[in-house]
A and B are shown apart, each in its own frame.
Chain A
Amino acid sequence: MSQDGVEVASIPAVVGPLRVRPSSNPIGDRLVLGAFSLAALLVLLLVVALFMTLTVAAWPAIKTIGLGAFRSVTWDPTNGKFGMLSFIYGTIVTSAIALLLAGPIGIGAALLLAEVAPRRLATPVAMLIELLAAVPSVVYGIWGLFVLAPVMRNVIEPALGHALGFLPLFQGYFYGVGMLTAGVLLAIMILPTVSAISRDIFEAVPRDQREAMLALGATKWEVLTRAVIPYARSGIIGAIVLALGRAIGEAMAVTMVIGNKPAISASLFAPAYTLASVLANEFTEATGQQYLSALIGIGSMLFIVSMIVNMLARLLVRGAAGPRTKRV
């Protein structure tokens, strides 16, 4: 997130690009500096290779199954039916639930860490939240399967059904595994992404922004909602889009709690599938070239969507965070 060549007064240690002067050892310079450049070039070539391979790999799927797959719900590989609409639906619904839950909570936590809590408390709490990001997704999955799903089935889904059962969203059987459980689990998984990036964004808001409002007699909360958050808006959106990218691509944890059923249901309690979870669940069992190429096509779609989402998010975050500021 740092920008080249921008000098920030508080960081004496920012290094400008090296000016390569006439050297007494031009061959050594060229070899070693060339190795550095080559490594950098490799990273870029890797991205190109990923993009090309996954785009080309989708081709057999498009050719044999056709774009009609996007309009069809029927996923019946043994009979050659590869409708992907239910996966797209499941991905959108679970990601939306995750963002609705993790967005406000993550931003609230980021406000606390960046603006409200004393530094000596904010640092350890931030570290705890970041450890949440380090928990492997399969551990989230096993916890979701054995702890979260029973709680959802016995407590939360009946309560929601009782209170909001007039909405089609909260009708039907309480399975425990389904879109709502997957969405809640995803919310926990993306919470650290929202809060860590938002915290960086809040810390990059200039001090004058706050002081001007404090001088006018505003309360802390008024400063936050009217001076800090509006200034940080595009960066916050970036943080949420980044979290969306994580939610779309999560495979293992989701496949363990979503019930793995290719269906579109109005009820959030119902089992479903997402693009990533169908890949995780069926790839190793896929028999037949057509089945396999359909799944690879799903992988390509996931890659391309996530590239777009992440590029957008990074542009938003980068614009907002500006040059990296030193953490005091």
Chain B
Amino acid sequence: MKLLKILHTSDVHLDHVLTDYNRDCRSTRRAELVSAFDFLVDEAIRQAADIMLIAGDLISARSVSDSTASAVREGFRRLAAASIFAAVVPGEAEEVHSLAMLRQVCSEPNVHLFSGEEWSRVSPMAGVSVWGLRTTSRNSTTNALANLVIEGSGIHIGLMHGTFEATPGLDSFISPVTPTELSQSGLDYLALGHYHNMVNNSVGRATCWYSGSPVHLGFDTRGERHALIVTVRGDGVRVYPIKVPGRPQRVVNIEVTTTRAREQLYTRLARLASSELCLRAEVEGETEPGDVGLVSLAEQDFRSKFFHLTVADHTRVSCPPWRSSDVRSMDLDEAFFRKAARLTAEPGAARKPPEVVARALKLGLGALGEVDTLVHRETRAKGQGQAAGD
């Protein structure tokens, strides 16, 4: 039996809106998505793959531009020139205007788009059947593989965009696939898309993988990005992940302590600084009331040292040492803190969400700290200022 070689990828999300990234680096990241797709095409050609499987979300149909659509078509043309067949199922990102854009990019003769809501089959070569279906709102709640009836001999490959039950980290639920159904489906390999990280969900001889997104679309994915090379022959299915080169991206947690928050945060960011790195720093721990603007200040200070930097503030403002046992403390910061603490603690009808109260606490402390009382009062009272001509 001839070796069948497949390149499996999904969730490229070409022309994704990339709101996790700064505006000035977003265009570069967008170009990197297209480069990643080109890399996959080149890799399929280099590895002499027979089939390229795209398990949904190839493009972000709402935001995809004509130039990117042309680039994808050009990629498919290159696959055609290398006699590589491409099978594509739509993902939820492509369900715009009845897959109009996806149909447009998949218009090359070597590309088959599964646009039916029932399982259908295409045979790119003798003895090989690729089964696929389109996941829509109508069939997203039903178990997809329950309706699959495999006919004929040969190699049967499944392609769908959905949720494999019990996949760690995947909390959405569309067209669920259960291990039992997978083992009973008769498929040699099920190529899944939807989850952005690479996961092996194989059950017994039934092989099933999420290829994961070949690029970082935001900071919800971590680590290296992959596509899968799947080889199928008489003795079984083998899956080899291949690394997709891309821009380094990290999400780091920075724990700060009350007295040394600034030093800890700045030291860590300085150590991580790289003009090529996309970094999201999750700052946690406690800060003093005087450090409420520290995180945004650090982001401003270090933004130029990274390709992209986001510093998320998850810190809590530490309770200042009480200067008075009286609830009505004369110290404003302390009194304000006590009030905010009471707001979160007291059960009441108009209880605010904790994140709102925490934010309010930071805003209030910041405002109290920034006010120059004398000037403020004089300005307010007298309405005086420097003459316009001055």
A pairs with B: no
Q: CB within 8 Å of A: which residues of B? A: none
Q: CB within 8 Å of B: which residues of A? A: none
